[in-house]
């Protein structure tokens, strides 16, 4: 034990006047009475307690002496252990696994309690800062000596749905050059933590092995061509040491109408994926639930959303419509993603014409138009070269098999997105926008190229129509917390999208063509001018579901926690003085 201020031991000299005052104090006052003989019977009854009275006086002196000793010890600021008393950066893990329940308490509560204990143990010169970590590190307070600020910061750490990302901590160590000036202490269950002996971060581990099951991934899709059937894909994991059997309950809609209940047997560790066919393919929220109480409840539910069927309506404008209509109907009859219409079209498919539509796929460049300017002579070398690899318009297409015969020398507008071109930089496929209008130009003569006979023709129409409508990337039924999802928009992200989570009354708006990273589990609904879609955000993290903390060990160095010893001594002194006060009260006022 060390004493920061040993000079205060001199205050023990106060015992001398204390004893003197005690002997003066305990002498009772003399009171004259007229009928002492009437008190005699009462005095006789009190004889049994006379010994206690004598001891009580001695006890009072003892209590006062002990109280003085405790006060003096408190003043000397004693410390046990070898805490370096450096400033502290306390990082509390608030990832999803910290919501696991142990002994009716969440691990996060335990972590917050430890952090509060460390804050209580700080001396007056020590500073500390509070941060939370899951996907990234979020500071909750700056370095301060104010215990209240630190306690408020600890209280502000809420459980999150995000998995723990060890890279966030690595970024922290890289971002702060002078980490040797303070100690960085991570309070975590260690799930997802990558131990590193060279890391300056000390780990205080909370939690122990717990049994838990959960979804690692889950997806739901309609069977192509069958609107009334869907397939559920899922993969489960278990941290139980033995296999467990439970029911998988699949429900639909906000009322959770049960669609299917099936028993599942889950092996320890990560299980093989399974696919289940469901009767019913209604759009809307779906839910798969594992009916087993375990340590972590939130990975027992997978939220999913089947998107409504919104086919891209395509009108054909050509002298020869047969092949063009059939190219549309090819996808109308199978996936249903396209629909041929005569009016009210989203996209116009034109051959040899320049329609005045908002979105158009133009085959050939027949005459001068705003989309390509002046039309020049045919190009001899029509061997296509891809300028943008993996562009969705060319998905599933073999561009080398496409003959661009009849391609003309054109000069597209400056902001055109050229996807394929010739060696001489004559654009063969490009996308162009003018105000609210957009077009996909395919620079070829389809008849001369016999493109209508090509298998890639309907594929190119399909890709082009969906790209112009911003639906080339479909929204998944479910995603993991931390992922981003595409936002279907025909204005390339210029329009605002309203986001609502779990039918909450409050919502927020965003712009862009992607939403994320998603930080909250739940059913996220996106709504803009192009339509309304939903996606279920779920934990889907093996390290969290398996509560995988076996690689993490407590590496914390000695650290003062809990109430300071001086405060405890002060409280003891107060208790002793209170006891003496009671005795004094009894002596003086009965």
Residues forming contacts to another protein in the complex (CB under 8 A) are 26, 28-39, 41-43, 45-46, 53, 586-590
Contact 106, 100 (CB under 8 A): yes
Closest approach of another protein to the CB of residue 28, in Å? 4
Closest approach of another protein to the CB of residue 30, in Å? 5
Give the tokens for residue 502. 């779990």
Alpha carbons within 13 angstroms on the beta-carbon side of residue 490 total 20
Place of tokens 């008190």: 39
Smaller CB distance to another protein: residue 26 or 568?
26
Smaller CB distance to another protein: residue 22 or 452?
22
Using H for helix, E for strand and C for coil, what is the string for 405-447? CCCECCCCCCCCEEEEECCCCCEEEEEEEECCEEEEEECCCCC
Smaller CB distance to another protein: residue 53 or 333?
53
Closest approach of another protein to the CB of residue 60, in Å? 11
Smaller CB distance to another protein: residue 3 or 22?
22
Residue 378 is given by DSSP the state B
Closest approach of another protein to the CB of residue 297, in Å? 58
Smaller CB distance to another protein: residue 57 or 87?
57
Name, in order, each residue with C-beta under 8 angstroms of 128's C-beta and a sequence gap of 6 or more: 87, 88, 89, 90, 118, 119, 122, 143, 144, 145, 150
Inter-CA distances, 477 with 233, 286, 486, 538, Å: 11, 9, 12, 11
Name, in order, each residue with C-beta under 8 angstroms of 122's C-beta and a sequence gap of 6 or more: 88, 128, 145, 147, 560
Closest approach of another protein to the CB of residue 590, in Å? 4
Closest approach of another protein to the CB of residue 54, in Å? 10
Phi-psi region of 3 (alpha: psi -120 to 50; beta: other; left: phi over 0): beta
Smaller CB distance to another protein: residue 51 or 424?
51
Going by C-alpha positions, the residue among 463, 470, 458 that lies closest to residue 495 is 470
245 vs 267: CA distance, rounded Å:
9
Smaller CB distance to another protein: residue 57 or 102?
57
Closest approach of another protein to the CB of residue 588, in Å? 4
Closest approach of another protein to the CB of residue 22, in Å? 13
Smaller CB distance to another protein: residue 43 or 514?
43
Closest approach of another protein to the CB of residue 568, in Å? 33
Closest approach of another protein to the CB of residue 3, in Å? 39
435 vs 199: CA distance, rounded Å:
54
User: Peptide bond before 517: cis, by omega within 30 degrees of 0?
Assistant: yes
Q: Please, what is the Cα angle at 185 between 182 and 191, to 5 degrees?
A: 155
Name, in order, each residue with C-beta under 8 angstroms of 455's C-beta and a sequence gap of 6 or more: none
Going by C-alpha positions, the residue among 458, 448, 220, 189 that lies closest to residue 322 is 458
Smaller CB distance to another protein: residue 35 or 414?
35
Buried b (16+ CB within 10 A) or exposed e, 78-87: bbeeebeebb
Closest approach of another protein to the CB of residue 14, in Å? 24
Smaller CB distance to another protein: residue 10 or 32?
32
- What values do phi and psi take at 414, rounded to 5? -60, -35
Going by C-alpha positions, the residue among 77, 59, 55, 108 that lies closest to residue 7 is 77
Smaller CB distance to another protein: residue 24 or 414?
24
Residue 319 is given by DSSP the state S
Smaller CB distance to another protein: residue 36 or 424?
36
Closest approach of another protein to the CB of residue 583, in Å? 10
Smaller CB distance to another protein: residue 33 or 174?
33
Give the tokens for residue 529. 């001018």
Q: How many CB atoms lie within 10 A of CB 413?
A: 13
Closest approach of another protein to the CB of residue 207, in Å? 55
**Residues facing 278 on adjacent strands:** 230
């Amino acid at each position: 034990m060390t004493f920061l201020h040993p000079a205060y031991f001199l205050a023990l000299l106060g015992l001398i006047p204390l004893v003197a005052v005690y002997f003066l104090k305990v002498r009772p006052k003399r009171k004259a009475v007229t009928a002492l003989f009437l008190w005699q019977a009462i005095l006789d009854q009190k004889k049994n307690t006379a010994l206690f009275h004598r001891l009580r006086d001695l006890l009072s002196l003892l209590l006062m002496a002990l109280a003085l000793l405790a006060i003096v010890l408190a003043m000397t600021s004693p410390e046990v252990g070898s805490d370096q008393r450096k400033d502290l950066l306390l990082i509390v893990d608030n990832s999803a696994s910290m919501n696991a329940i142990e002994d009716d308490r969440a691990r996060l509560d335990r972590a917050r309690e430890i952090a509060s204990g460390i804050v209580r143990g700080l001396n007056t010169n020590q500073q500390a800062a509070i941060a939370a970590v899951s996907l990234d590190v979020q500071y909750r307070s700056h370095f301060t000596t104010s215990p209240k600020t630190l306690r408020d910061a600890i209280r502000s750490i809420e459980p999150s749905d995000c998995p723990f990302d060890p890279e966030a901590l690595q970024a922290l160590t890289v971002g702060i050059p002078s980490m040797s000036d303070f100690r960085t202490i991570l309070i975590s269950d260690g799930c997802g933590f990558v131990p590193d002996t060279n890391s300056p971060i000390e780990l205080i581990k909370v939690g122990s092995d717990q049994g838990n099951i959960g979804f690692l991934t889950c997806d739901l899709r309609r069977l192509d061509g069958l609107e009334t059937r869907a397939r559920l894909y899922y993969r489960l994991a278990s941290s139980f040491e033995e296999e467990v059997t439970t029911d998988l309950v699949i429900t639909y809609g906000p009322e959770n109408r049960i669609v299917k209940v099936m028993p599942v047997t889950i092996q320890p560790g990560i299980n093989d994926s399974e696919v289940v066919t469901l009767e019913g393919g209604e759009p809307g929220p779906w839910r798969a639930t594992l009916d087993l109480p375990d340590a972590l409840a939130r990975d027992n539910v997978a939220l999913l959303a089947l998107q409504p069927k919104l086919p891209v309506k395509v009108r054909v404008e050509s002298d020869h419509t047969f092949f063009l209509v059939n190219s549309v109907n090819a996808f109308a009859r199978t996936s249903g993603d396209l629909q041929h219409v005569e009016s009210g079209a989203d996209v116009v498919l034109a051959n040899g014409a320049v329609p005045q539509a908002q979105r158009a796929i133009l085959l050939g460049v027949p005459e001068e138009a705003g989309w390509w300017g002046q039309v020049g002579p045919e190009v001899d070398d029509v061997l296509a070269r891809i300028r943008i690899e993996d562009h969705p318009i060319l998905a599933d297409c073999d561009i080398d098999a496409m003959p661009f015969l009849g391609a003309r020398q054109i000069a597209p507008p400056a902001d055109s997105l050229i996807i394929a071109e010739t060696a001489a930089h004559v654009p063969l496929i490009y996308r162009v926008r003018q105000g609210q209008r957009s077009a996909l130009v395919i620079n070829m003569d389809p008849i001369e190229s016999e493109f209508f006979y090509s298998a890639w023709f309907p594929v190119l129409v399909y890709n082009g129509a969906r790209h112009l409508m911003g639906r080339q990337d479909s929204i998944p039924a479910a995603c993991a917390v931390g992922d981003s999802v595409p936002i279907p928009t025909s204005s390339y992200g210029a329009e605002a999208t309203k986001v609502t989570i779990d039918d909450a009354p409050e919502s927020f708006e965003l712009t862009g063509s992607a939403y994320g990273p998603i930080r909250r589990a739940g059913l996220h609904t996106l709504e803009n001018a192009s339509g309304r879609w939903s996606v279920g955000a779920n934990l889907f993290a093996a390290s969290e579901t398996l509560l995988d903390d076996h690689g993490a060990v407590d590496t914390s160095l000695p650290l003062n926690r809990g109430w300071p010893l001086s405060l405890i001594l002060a409280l003891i002194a107060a208790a002793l003085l209170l006891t003496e006060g009671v005795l004094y009260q009894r002596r003086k006022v009965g």
